[in-house]
Structure 1
């Protein structure tokens, strides 16, 4: 039996993708649990910042921490609001400079439909794996988060910027020619970003460890259903997929302390 506070699974680019659940005293290769019956039990909350047993509000933080820590500021979700390149502080300028003033990638990914997104360069391809994208391509590489943000804002007028998680988990998807999409959207990239356009980027294809995709979806909420048991049939994005069509979003439950038991 394993116990600890949930944080998003660590991933490794392989064929198929390898998933690891890191707990305080354990490191579980989740791929090895496929076809095994496992039990998950909710124990308590533990805010990822203050570590107190307080209800999780968003992103693994209690409500007070969510509105205080720089990791949850608005610019994280809306990169066009980044101001560190101007020397303007939001919550913690030192943290914001480290996070914002580094190379960022604007990309196209196909997880439910083709979407545009932004990530730090050092998070490629982790970001695509976390979104459950089966194919992705880089558009531009810019020196800060702000330039990536204004590019995303310009492009999402012409392509989606969100993933339909239900479509992604059911695998109701089709392959797209992302090179063609990239060429089509090039005209909408802001003029100041065009020098950073990646002319020769190529599409990356990703294969997830899923034995059976669910036909219907039942989302597991451990605070409402504190104990669950099922046979693990797949892992995609940050979701565990079980035999009875139950899906569990590990990242969406960050800050929950759980026990995980391998029954057979």
Structure 2
């Protein structure tokens, strides 16, 4: 079976286990159905997610010029505390920034390789946790805009990480934590502007990933270095495909790469 198209972040559906889908222009693939089958990945060209041109991908699926121009790659995406739409102040495109920033956001704890703090739009729960490969997560605050979420994350980062160790996550070198206790312990560090939005009556969300076998150690597939790869798919976690030979492929990190996929 052959598929062809530009790689984008896999779409997910909560379940036991989580269901993963690769969406192409005229087709889609339920990736769970490829488990224990041979998957061939062939790089064909680049296709910037903004301009659609065949230009080398720079970051986040965009060519270099689009990365520095499109509103979808503003610095506030990675650093929510830099959001300014609530002040009616434009970064690159105020209409777009208001649409994204001025909506309910969640500050959460997620445990993928270790406990980390993060920010996401409320509409992206639990998608964001799935994308990070977290096996458990909990919400701490729900605020009305991205800026408040950002300053809360910055305050909590002084007390725990905001990074995921992707190698530990993919080898499943993780331990369970009591996230309710962590949430309660961190409450006093929430900035005054966000204290009224604290959530104190929720429980952990647990996530189950479709993995038949975890690798002992991982080697990362780069289509720049290895444009043609074939391997037996053994699992999907976060936005990674895990293969029998310990190769892992970051779909999200390869957005904007136009590929052919063969399933046998």
TM-score, normalised to structure 2, is 0.99
User: Which residue in the other structure is 2:137 paired with?
Assistant: 136
The separation in 1 between residues aligned to 2:130 and 2:260, in whole angstroms, is: 25
| Moved beyond 4 Å, runs of 4+ | none
User: Which residue in the other structure is 2:42 paired with?
Assistant: 41
What is the CA distance between 1:202 and its match in structure 2?
Answer: 1.2
Q: What secondary structure is seen at the aligned counterpart in 2 of 1:232?
A: strand
User: Which residue in the other structure is 2:5 paired with?
Assistant: 4
User: Which residue in the other structure is 2:73 paired with?
Assistant: 72
User: Which residue in the other structure is 1:21 paired with?
Assistant: 22
The separation in 1 between residues aligned to 2:149 and 2:217, in whole angstroms, is: 36
Per-residue Cα deviation, 1:131-188 (whole angstroms, up to 9, x for no partner): 0000000000000000000000000000110100000000000000000000110010
- Does 1:214 pair with 2:229? no
**Aligned ranges 1:112-191 → 2 under 5 Å:** 112-191=113-192
Per-residue Cα deviation, 1:25-58 (whole angstroms, up to 9, x for no partner): 1110000000001100000000000000000000
The separation in 1 between residues aligned to 2:65 and 2:26, in whole angstroms, is: 28
Per-residue Cα deviation, 1:212-235 (whole angstroms, up to 9, x for no partner): 000111100011101000000000
Number of equivalenced pairs: 263
The separation in 1 between residues aligned to 2:141 and 2:261, in whole angstroms, is: 41
User: Which residue in the other structure is 1:252 paired with?
Assistant: 253
User: Which residue in the other structure is 1:243 paired with?
Assistant: 244
**Aligned ranges 1:47-62 → 2 under 5 Å:** 47-62=48-63
Per-residue Cα deviation, 1:54-111 (whole angstroms, up to 9, x for no partner): 0000000000000000110100000000000000000000000000000000000000
The runs of 5 or more residues in structure 2 that have no matched partner are none
TM-score, normalised to structure 1, is 0.99
What is the CA distance between 1:198 and its match in structure 2?
Answer: 0.6
- Does 1:223 pair with 2:229? no
CA RMSD of aligned residues (A): 0.4
The runs of 5 or more residues in structure 1 that have no matched partner are none
Per-residue Cα deviation, 1:225-261 (whole angstroms, up to 9, x for no partner): 0100000000000000000000000000000000000
The separation in 2 between residues aligned to 1:62 and 1:129, in whole angstroms, is: 26
